[in-house]
């Protein structure tokens, strides 16, 4: 009997954690960041590895295995709809099926947090009080972060912005920041041609205080060209809409906020 107990214990210790239970799986790191705000104890995995291109992502067999063992898959199908996800999962929460990059908007996050909390409580009803308490704090954080972004983007409301990729378009629309142009066409990685670049250069002449917004996960050659040929000092800011799997949503938003605050000062 003792030998069997020891063998069972060794089996648990030697079995990779993903083979036991993957807990919660998310397609994108910011979605894991939302879970972290509500439940710091659950294991959360991100299907998209750090630095990977979400538009050309292929899951490895190990990732598929972890996904199959997860208790909950959280996704945003408008953004990850082209992924080769397995056909069936017992428990899927699709946060934004009709909106792109919903997580960059504090308002959208505020609306979606209760749905995530409900899903987490169904998994762990004994943690309901803690999750609901965290929910209240998380909602309050969205208001605080929203105000900080409004303050940081106040100069851009008069200046306007030109973006490489529409990652942050939802936030800019929320903040009523004029978007003069988006240089990446509807197909990821397909930049506008010389004519569109020339138009953007004229826009910079007409709006000399306009900001150039890069995204860390995309090629930003077009913005670099504009900055080089504008003949003036142009604010060029690089934001990161994906961040890392271990970073909570509020940390991600504050880290990006620092990029803007650093330029403003």
Dihedral (C-alpha) 248, 253, 255, 257: value to the nearest 10 degrees? -170
What six digits make up the tokens of 227?
């900055």
pLDDT of residue 33: 97
What six digits make up the tokens of 94?
């699709």
For the chain, which domains are there?
12-149 (3.40.50.1980), 155-264 (3.40.50.1980)
Block mean pLDDT (10 aa), the chain, length 265: 41 37 85 96 86 71 83 93 79 94 98 98 95 98 98 94 91 96 62 66 80 85 77 84 93 96 61
Compute the distance between CA of residue 172 and CA of residue 167 in angstroms, rounded to an integer: 10
Q: Which residues of 57-89 are buried (b: 16+ CB within 10 A; e: fewer)?
A: bebeeebeebbeebbbbbbbbebbeebebeeee
Tokens 């978007």 label which residue? 179
pLDDT of residue 82: 79
Contacts of 158 (CB under 8 A, 6+ apart): 209
Compute the distance between CA of residue 34 and CA of residue 145 in angstroms, rounded to an integer: 14
pLDDT of residue 9: 39
pLDDT of residue 194: 60
Tokens 């590895």 label which residue? 49
pLDDT of residue 4: 44
pLDDT of residue 16: 38
């Amino acid at each position: 009997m003792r030998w069997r107990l020891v063998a069972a214990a060794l089996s648990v210790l030697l079995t990779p954690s993903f083979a036991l239970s993957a807990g919660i799986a998310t397609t994108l790191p910011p979605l894991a960041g939302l879970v972290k705000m509500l439940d710091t104890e659950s294991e959360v995995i991100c299907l998209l590895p750090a630095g990977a291109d979400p538009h050309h992502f292929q899951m490895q067999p190990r990732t598929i295995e972890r996904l199959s063992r997860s208790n909950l898959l959280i996704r945003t199908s408008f953004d990850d709809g082209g992924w080769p996800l397995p056909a069936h999962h017992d428990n899927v929460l699709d946060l934004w099926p009709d909106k792109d990059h919903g997580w960059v908007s504090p308002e959208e996050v505020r609306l979606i947090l209760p749905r995530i909390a409900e899903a987490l409580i169904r998994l762990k009803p004994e943690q309901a009080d803690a999750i609901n308490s965290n929910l209240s704090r998380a909602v309050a954080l969205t208001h605080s972060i929203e105000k900080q972004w409004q303050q940081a983007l106040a100069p851009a409301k008069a200046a306007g912005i030109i973006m490489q990729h529409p990652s942050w378009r939802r936030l800019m629309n929320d903040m009523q920041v004029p978007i003069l142009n988006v240089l990446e066409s509807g197909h990821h990685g397909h930049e506008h041609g010389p004519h569109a670049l020339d138009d953007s250069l004229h826009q910079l002449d007409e709006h000399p205080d306009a900001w150039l917004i890069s995204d860390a996960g995309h090629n930003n050659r077009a913005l670099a060209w504009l900055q080089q040929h504008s003949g003036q000092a142009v604010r060029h800011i690089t934001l990161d809409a994906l961040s890392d799997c271990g970073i909570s949503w509020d940390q991600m938003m504050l880290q990006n906020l620092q990029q803007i605050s650093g330029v403003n000062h």
